[in-house]
Amino acid sequence: MKMIDAAEFKETIKTGTTLVDFFAEWCGPCKMLGPVLEELDSEYPDVKFVKVNVDDNMDLAGEYGIMSIPQVYIFKDGEVAGKMGGYRDAGGVRAFIDETVK
């Protein structure tokens, strides 16, 4: 998964479907979710998977109202299509993606 910052964010989500993992290095549930998202990245070739470190991009986290992490957003052509908070196993994340991307 590619790590992006606020400068790359708008361009990255502008077209297509993008899953954004808002996380922090110190966050235990974020560390658990990371490998799940890495695994699912290859299952969804039409979805871009990226990570945003909220500690390094506080303005961006504030813009999207990120109050707790991990938060996973799915954007379709720049618009928020779905949000998922907290840790989920691969089945839970897959269900979220399938429901949101359909």
Q: What are phi and psi of 48, to 5 degrees?
A: -80, 130
Active-site hit among 13, 19, 20, 27: 27
Say which residues have a Cβ less than 8 Å from residue 48's Cβ, sequence separation at least 6.
2, 12, 16, 17, 18, 19
Active-site hit among 4, 13, 20, 30: 30
C-alpha span between 73 and 27 (Å, rounded): 17
Task: Tell me whether strands 71-76 and 79-85 are parallel, antiparallel or unpaired.
Answer: antiparallel
Question: Is 30 considered catalytic here?
Answer: yes
Which of the residues are catalytic?
Answer: 27, 30
